[in-house]
């Protein structure tokens, strides 16, 4: 995954002189997760800009640069730190194109790391992508494989709207096939990662890998679970989700974010509204525990859904 994202950034820097990268430790240090390692030497300080620890300034500068005709890639080290730039993201980046009647565009990509499980405690392990997915004017993508990471990033560089590009902290080492030939992945198109007929497991981010593990365990018990990867939270591919439920007649929506107010609860609402007659039971929302993320590893594991909890949820709610 790390190499796929890095490749997408290199392509953009080499093909478009308007593209530059800005953020904390993106240059000399090579990125907090080594995605931009070697970039400063290769592209120079005008294209790869180390920024101070001031997220509001980083994003605000990115918005201004995008309005001025450049195509910035702003890296916010973790989505937790984006709270310091909430005004610039929600009130400026997301609204300027609309408020200018389309006269001013903001082609800004905000790369940020999200999710828990890395033992980084309460203020560094939150999953806030659902918050941004509720904001009109923003697009939110969340790749779970190297193929999707590169394909979605290529599409992001074609966009004229601000995009939150989410990278889960524990997925950088995930391996997968990436074709040598050019391809891209449309924003707003979910993908069935594993077909099934008994229950739909709908997820995004690292939860997709948890759903795949659960599906494998369920298969050993004769239950064929379909795993649907959102890939994009906004726009959301509701059509694909409804189609899956019409095949399986049951659904569990899985995410790391807190259950209260979770984005998965909104998906459950949409499925109840648009596929009610096809459901054999209520859609179940399985989210993270409603607690600040614990630092202790044993407690942290209990705060995030795992494959065993997914399997238990399917069996308890649907008798499968």
Integer Cα distance of 213 and 222 in angstroms: 15
Q: Which of 24, 55, 75, 256 is catalytic?
A: 55
DSSP-H helix ranges across the chain = 2-15, 39-43, 55-67, 86, 96-99, 129-133, 146-156, 206-219, 238-248, 263-274, 297-303, 307-318
Classify residue 228 by its DSSP letter.
E
Active site annotation includes 124:
yes
DSSP-based three-state secondary structure for 226: strand
Residue 307 and residue 213 in contact, taking contact as beta carbons nearer than 8 Å: yes
Q: Which of 71, 124, 209, 285 is catalytic?
A: 124
CA torsion, points 292, 294, 298, 300, in degrees to nearest 10?
Answer: 50
Active site annotation includes 55:
yes
Residues ≥6 apart with Cβ < 8 Å to 222: none
Q: How far is CA 169 from the centre of its chain?
A: 11
Integer Cα distance of 169 and 189 in angstroms: 23
Q: What are the residue numbers of the active site? A: 55, 124
């Amino acid at each position: 995954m790390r190499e796929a994202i890095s490749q997408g950034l290199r392509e953009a820097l080499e093909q478009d002189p308007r593209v530059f990268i800005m953020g904390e430790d993106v240059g000399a240090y090579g990125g907090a997760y080594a995605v931009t390692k070697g970039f400063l030497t290769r592209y120079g300080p005008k294209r790869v800009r180390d920024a101070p620890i001031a997220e509001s300034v980083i994003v605000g500068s990115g918005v201004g640069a995008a309005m001025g005709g450049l195509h910035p890639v702003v890296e916010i080290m973790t989505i937790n730190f984006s709270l310091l730039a909430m005004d610039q993201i929600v009130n400026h980046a997301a609204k300027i194109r609309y408020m200018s009647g389309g006269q001013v565009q903001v082609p800004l990509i905000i790369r940020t790391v999200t999710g828990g499980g890395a033992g980084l405690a309460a203020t560094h392990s939150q999953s806030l992508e659902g918050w941004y997915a509720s904001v009109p004017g923003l697009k939110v993508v969340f790749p779970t494989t190297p193929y999707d990471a590169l394909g979605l990033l290529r599409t992001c560089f074609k966009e004229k709207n601000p995009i939150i590009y989410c990278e889960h902290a524990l997925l950088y080492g995930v391996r997968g096939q990436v074709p040598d030939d050019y391809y891209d992945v449309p924003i707003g198109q979910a993908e069935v990662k594993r077909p099934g007929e008994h229950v739909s497991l709908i997820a995004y981010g690292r939860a997709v890998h948890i759903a795949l593990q659960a599906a494998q365990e369920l298969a050993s018990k004769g239950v064929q679970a379909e795993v649907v990867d959102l890939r994009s939270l906004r726009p959301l591919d509701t059509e694909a989700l409804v189609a899956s439920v019409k095949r399986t007649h049951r659904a569990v929506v899985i995410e790391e974010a807190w259950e209260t107010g979770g984005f998965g609860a909104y998906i459950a609402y949409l499925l109840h509204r648009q596929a009610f007659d096809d459901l054999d039971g209520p859609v179940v929302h399985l989210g993270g525990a409603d607690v600040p993320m614990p630092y202790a590893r044993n407690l942290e594991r209990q705060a995030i859904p795992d494959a065993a909890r997914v399997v238990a949820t399917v069996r308890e709610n649907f008798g499968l």
